[in-house]
Amino acid sequence: MGRKVKKLKNFTTEQVEALFDCDENYRIAIKLFAILLITRGYSSRALEKFFRTSFKQICNWADRFDTEGVKGLFPKTR
């Protein structure tokens, strides 16, 4: 018998996902969390499903953070 999974009563998955898109700081925090997990030994390939992006993108975040710090996680103007 497994444990029950916690369910939210007042929010859907789509509503929670929309919160990530509404504020740039949330997106930066997600990238920073992925980098934290890399420093704890997780591979970028293991994280790609969790963060719903490619392992290459996660590697790019880590490389930019390593060279530029948090500023490297903000989107570049084109």
Task: Kindly report, residue by residue over 16-57, the tens digit of the pLDDT.
Answer: 888 888 888 899 999 999 999 999 999 999 999 999 999 999
Q: Rounded to two decimals, what is the model's pTM?
A: 0.81
Which tokens hold the place of 11?
């929010």
How many angstroms separate the CA atoms of 48 and 71, rounded?
A: 22
Please check the confidence at residue 63 and state whether its pLDDT lies above 90.
yes
How many angstroms separate the CA atoms of 47 and 50, rounded?
A: 5
How many angstroms separate the CA atoms of 78 and 75, rounded?
A: 9
